[in-house]
Structure formats: structure tokens, C-alpha cells
Amino acid sequence: MQTDTVTNSAISFEDFKDQIINDYKIAVTSRECSLLGRREVLTGKAKFGIFGGGKELPQLAMAKVFENGDFRSGYYRDQTFMMAIDELTIEQFFAGLYAHVDIEVEPMSAGRQMGGHFVTHSLNEDGSWKNLTQQKNSSADISPTAAQMPRLLGLAQASKVYRHLNDIDSHKFSKNGNEVAWGTIGNASTSEGLFFETINAAGVLQVPMVVSVWDDEYGISVHAKHQTTKENISEILKGFQRDEHGNGYEILVVNGWDYPALIETYQKASKIAREEHVPVLVHVQQLTQPQGHSTSGSHERYKTQERLVWETEHDCIAKMKEWMIANGIAEDAELTAIDKEIKKQVRLGKKNAWSAFIEPIIAEQKELVSLLDTLSKESTNGVFIEKIAVGLSQLDEPNRKDVIATARKALRYCIGDATAAKTSLQNWINDYFNTYQPKYSSHLYSETKNKLANIKEIKASYDDNPELVDGRIILRDNFDKLFENNQEVLVFGEDSGTIGDVNQGLEGLQEKYGDIRVADAGIREATILGQGIGLALRGLRPIAEIQYLDYILYALQTMSDDLATLQYRTVGKQKAPVIVRTRGHRLEGIWHSGSQMGGLIHLLRGIHILVPRNMTKAAGFYNTLIASDEPALVVECLNGYRLKEPLPTNLGTLRTPVGKVETVKEGSDITVVSYGSTLRIVEQVAKELLEVDINIEVIDIQSLLPFDLDHDIVKSIIKTNRLLIIDEDVPGGASAYILQEILEKQDAYEYLDSKPQTLTAKAHRPAYGTDGDYFSKPSAEDIFEKIYQIMHEAAPNKYPALFN
């Protein structure tokens, strides 16, 4: 069904007609899927629908110039494009609508995302890369508007990297950087900051990126006059238009119902981006949205009668049909016959997709009803079991929720029974969850042989009398080894290039490795992160540097919605092992507090969060991450760059294990858990506490996500019977997460003789200056007195009260 390129080369008129008629068939198929899909939602077979009706022709034109190796980063209206590149069938369209959980049947997300969210598979079953240059590629869509834009920048930048670096093995990822990254976005979503940030960054970087704006004049029910200055995105972006004096964009404008003009426009856009590496904006105007925004409402509620009439007259498929008839491509009767045949095909495809979805559930329904029938005969509560079994059997189109919920309710009625039927029901419930829970929960993290849990520790080694150096030297020299041994590694961020980062951890590396691999970036955190995602999706190993932890809030939406969910929402079919490098802890001032760990922990499930206490540990984490295929956030200690550390002899190869805590001081009275810069204060206080005969055990968490995989903290608590968690985050932040991990997952409550406690920063952000830090975050005196008070409560005679 794939669309073929209409070119200016000599082909017969019959071949020319065949290409156009094939395009027409794809457009009509897509539209029929939209129409029937809406009906499936409104009749209750699907939960929600959002479709690409009205956008068919520009997507066909884009598909014609979309080549193997290219990448799409789009949004939920691009079904026609996916059909045109042979990556979406009728059956798959409806399988997505029904949320079919088999990745072979519903290859976009196995039901984890609503329909309209598209992806191609970049990975083999073992997690290794496919040859992306031999297939047409789509990065995995997400719903937040304009959120596809940051990764689009990185996808395009990868072509620039591959074109300019000769030492990288690029055979699976690029052919001399000739690939184009194609972005699509609705006109209303161009109001988002992520759109403007990406447009600016792409103009600066001069990368082969084509952004198509589908403009139907509305954003849900809100007209363009409320969205965009001058109601015209290409008009207000004219300042980006390239000229003879400098870099910029090529800006093209075309009507979305004009088939031949669309073909010409996209051929021009492709040539400019692919050959010249210049970004292009294609503003596709005068589009329609004949079904409204989604199945949640009707566009008749907010469009004028005049607009509705105009949309009928300018529907792109209707206009294409007029053009085909006027130019002798096809007769009206021929096209009418095609329409009727496609309606039949779509109805049949829908029927097949529904049968594939519902029949296994009906089989499970019948199996459970039979089991409950037997159970009801053996239970004293048989009448109640029979009643819920009948209720289940009467459902014509059950969900799996209906099936398993009925089984679990039935089990309640036979709590006191000891029968074979009850045992069978218990086993059935367990087997059901073992089968289906992974369908909804797998691949939050990598499940390949290269996952972080499989990367073994390599301890730092030292000479007999190691040189003491600034921590930044350890980082710098380790990065040097990483760049030397891994040609696909590159780093970029604010001040990362010329000056070697704000703390000199990359000093001299740009001069040594060039400004492609060690690069400065503008003050634009969201697209720095987006560069990382896109580059990683194309086989590179980017280190995206966010200058300070506080600034990561600018990139948090992209980290949370895109990077953290990528493996999960593609069921392991795409990966982006981005390393996000930043620095924080014990900073001063409201805007440089350096600890948002509680928020990050909960918003970034799917990304590892690593909190090394010194630069040797940080260097080991970077080495571990490069050996793995997972993304991570590494938070270096800002006040550790000038502290002296012994210089390891195995930089570049030492590895800090992820998910492992380290006992940095053994003790017998209380287990004290912390991380990052605060841990150094705890170590200082540990010495002071020895003066009053309190011997604490100090444990460095090192890795917040994952957390203490070997449950070593509870082993310490078994010895000390007391627990204090010290954290510079706000009350109830990371400390609450740590406490839950220790008490619930490690069952440490069984061994506690004292109440487990936390010592955190104040609820407000820290005030500025040394005194502001002292009165805002846990101080050495706070820690001493907190531990002493716990010991006083345990042994008041041995440890008299400090305060009466």
C-alpha cells in the first residue's frame, strides 16, 4: 500500500495515474478508519479516539519523500502517513483503538497508549539495533502537545554528527548523514514553548529537520486568533527565513487540499534539508478536521455554519477527487467504486481486529464460569458464587477486568473452604496475573543483557602512595578515557565546550576531540535533553549536561513524559540511553537549592537516578552507564570538585555498581542513611559522636533509582536496631521514599527498637548565603543532636538530655 514518489522523471501516463490512484486509496482508507473508529468509541468498544481526518493529503506528500533511514517525530494525527509508508494496517489501526496487548498484533504500544500514537521497531528481540538505514523510522509518539519537538532536534542533529565524524561505526544508523528528521505538529501547539525553543535551536545548529504544521485554524475549540499572533505561524516566523547573509530556515507555505502543490512542496523541502542540512518549516494551511478534535465532543458546537460549509467544500479528499476527474486521472464512477470497495475492506479489517481482541477474553470468561460452576457446588456460599458467575456469563463483550475481578470476588466467598475447586481458583487467579500483569507493566527499565543490573562493579585501584588531586581532575581524566575508547560518546550543554564546563570537569576536551563531540549549547534545557533523546535513538551515546540540578525543572516534562516512558511505551522496541549530567546538593539560595530529589524520584520512574558522594564514584557511574543501554540522571556534588581525592589508576574502566549501597563506616548503635554532599557532614558528625560514646553505622545510598537491590540496609538495622535517614530535600520528599523502601520492602520494622526517623531540610527553599544554608538544611549540629536524642530515648541514664 506504500505510496510511491511522483517525480519529474519520464514515466508513462498510466504509471503516473496508478501512483495517484494508489494515493487516493490510502487517503480514503485512512478516512474510513477514522469514521468507523469514532463509531467504535461511541458504541463503547473503545475508550477514546483521536484521528487524522482532514490531514490525509499532506501526509501522503510527506511520505513520498520519506526515505529509508529517515525518522519521524510527530503526533496523534499522522495515521495516513504511517499507512503510506506501510507501517500501519487497517487491522493494526483498530487493534490500537481496542488496546490489544499483543505487540505482534498492535505493534505501536501493545495497548499501552491510546490509538494514534505511532512507532517503528528499532531493536531486535535481544535489544540489539536493527539496521535503521534499511527501514523507515518513527520515534514513539507521546500525547503532550509539542512534546515531540525536543527529540526531533536530536534526531536531526544525529545526521549532522554522522556526516562530520568519520571514526564512528555508523552503518546501522546513517549513510553519510543524508537522513532527514520529519516533525509534525498542529497549528495550535505551535503556541507551546517547546516548539519555539526547538525552532530556535535547530536554526542555530543547522540540522536537516523538516517541521510540518497542520493548520486547520483550531486548537480543540479555540480559534487561531486566540493561539497565534497574526493567526499565522509562518508569518510570525519570517525572521527565521534564511538569506544570503546567514543561517536560518527555509519557510514554505502550501494549501492542504492542493495535491500537486503538496507534492512539489515536499520534494523541495526534502532536497533542501537532505542536501544542504538546512531546517525547513512547511506551513500547510486550509486544512480541515471533519470529525472535530476527538471523540470527546463535536466540532459543530464551536464552528460557525459558514466554516462548516467551507470545510465540506475544501475537504482534501474531495478536492483531490475533483482534481483527478478534471485532469483525466480517473472517472467519477471509478472513484465511487473504489470508495465502496475500501468501505468493505475497512469494515472487514475492523471485524477481524475486534475478533482477535475479544475472542481470547471470551475464552477466559467461559473457562472461569466453568470453574466457578464447580466451585459453587462445593462451597457453603455457592448461591453467591453462582450469582456472580451468571453475571459474568451474561456479558457479551467482557474486559479482562470483568473476568479477573469476578474471580477475586468469588474467592472471598470460600475463605473458610478447603476444597480442590478453591485451590483451582487460587491457581487460576495467580496464573492470570502472571500472564497479564507483565502485559501492562514490563519494560519500565531495560530487560536486555546490557541492563544496568548486569554491569559488574570494578573497584577503583590505586598506587601505593596515590596522588591527591581535585575531584574535577578525576572526572576530566575519566571523561578523556571514555571519549578515547568510545567514538560514539559526545557531550553538550551550557559551558560544556570552550571552557570545559562550569567546574572544569571537561577541561581541554573540546580542543582534543572537536566541537561536535564536546559542544556548547544555548540556555535551553528542554532541547538539550531533547538532543540527547534524539541522538540516542539513532545509536549515539550522548551526555546531555544540565548546568545545575535546579535548572532540570525546565527539562522535567521532556524527561518525565518522553525519556522515562520510552522503553515502557514501546515494550522495549526503542531505547534512548541518554546520560543526563548535572550537579547539585548543598547549594545556597532559593533558586540554587540543589535538591529536588523527591519530585524527581516520583516523576522519573524509568530513568535511573544516581547520587555519587564524590567524583571517583561519579566517574565509575559514567563508565557503568556507557556499558549499559539505559538512561540515567547523575547528580554530582557541586562542592566536591575542589576537594582532594586519591587518583585512581584505572580511570575509564572502574565501575560503580547501580542499585548498591556502601557502608562507609561501621558502627553498632544506629544506622544512619544519606547520600551526596550531606553524607560528608554525616561522616564528620560520626567522629564527634564517638566522643560521647555513640558509634553510628553510616551508609551511602549512592543510587536512589534503583534502591539497595541487595537489601543491605536492613542487614545493618538487624545489628543496630535503629534508623535515621538524613536528606537535604524537603520533609516528605526523598526521605519518605527511602523510609518506605526500608520499612516496607526490606521489612526493617521487625528489627527496630526505636521509632525510625528522618532529618530533612525545612519545607521552604534555602535562604541565600552560609547562614541561610545553616538554618535551612540539616547542619552538623542538627545531625549530632538528632542522633543523640534517639540514643537518649533508648538509654536516658547513659545519654542525659541535651535540653531539658
- Active centre residues (catalytic): 592
Q: How far apart are CA 325 and CA 338, in angstroms?
A: 14
Q: How far apart are CA 648 and CA 690, in angstroms?
A: 31
Could you tell me which of 550, 579, 551, 576 has the C-alpha nearest to residue 562? 576
**Phi, psi torsion values for 571, nearest 5 degrees:** 50, 45
Using the structure block, give the residue that is written with the C-alpha cell 527539562.
555
**Phi, psi torsion values for 643, nearest 5 degrees:** -80, 145
Return the C-alpha cell found at 658.
547501580
Please tell me whether the peptide bond between 107 and the residue prior to it is cis, using omega within 30 degrees of 0: no
Q: Which residues pair with 608 in a beta bridge?
A: 632
Beta strands in 521-559 (DSSP E): 541-545
Return the C-alpha cell found at 310.
467551507
> What count of Cα atoms within 13 Å lies in the side-chain half-sphere of residue 735?
24
DSSP label at residue 250: E
Task: Tell the burial category of 344 from Cβ atoms under 10 Å away from its Cβ (0-12, 13-18, 19+).
Answer: exposed
Q: How far apart are CA 254 and CA 270, in angstroms?
A: 15
Cα–Cα distances (Å) from 597 to 269, 503, 556, 602, 633, in that order, read 44, 22, 12, 9, 11
Q: 621-638 burial, b for 16+ CB within 10 Å, e for fewer?
A: bbbbbbbbbbbbbbbbbb
Cα–Cα distances (Å) from 201 to 204, 252, 374, 506, 524, in that order, read 5, 19, 67, 23, 8
Using the structure block, give the residue that is written with the C-alpha cell 478534471.
326
Could you tell me which of 207, 214, 191, 285 has the C-alpha nearest to residue 248? 207
Q: How far apart are CA 130 and CA 602, in angstroms?
A: 32
DSSP label at residue 648: P
